Amino acid sequence: MHHQNPMDQLGIHIGRIDSAFDQWIHKQGLSYASFAVLYTLATAEGGSCTQKRICEEWFLSKQTVFSICKGLIDKGLLELHESHQDRRERLLQLTPAGLAHAMPLAERARAFGTAVFQAFGQERAAQLLAEMDALSTLMERTINTNDASGKGS
């Protein structure tokens, strides 16, 4: 067996974490996109947010988020409101029935995260997240300069 370079190893670990998270979401009876919409709205400050925010935070297409939202609106779980800041923008907000549906999901997600990170250890978790942040920043910086293999901006 040959040793993989660190970027390959990182990709493998990110894939495993992603897969584990997908398995957990699947056990909740949801797709990744449905979970993203419900969780974000259940935990949003003030109880509402835009479609754009969900797309950006969860790396989902506008079309995907729109179709999930349409389904939730049809089931009476979600409403659209006009934004006071920008009239062209619509704020998504769960109805009382939507909140009753999404809050237990958000609680289970928090409990899952808490259990994982308690077992992992607070100090290790803080270190891991700080290092991941530093690596992400470095990768973004490298992409935006000329030192990434051959092709620069």
What digits encode the pLDDT tens for the residues 16-54? Answer: 999 999 999 999 999 999 999 999 999 999 889 999 999
> 86: pLDDT confidence band, cut at 50, 70 and 90?
confident
Alpha-carbon distance of 30 to 139, in angstroms, equals 32
Q: Is 146 helix (H, G, I), strand (E, B) or coil?
A: coil
Q: What are phi and psi of 40, to 5 degrees?
A: -60, -45
What digits encode the pLDDT tens for the residues 112-141? Answer: 999 999 999 999 999 999 999 999 999 999
What is the structure's pLDDT at 147?
58
Strands 48-50 and 90-94: antiparallel
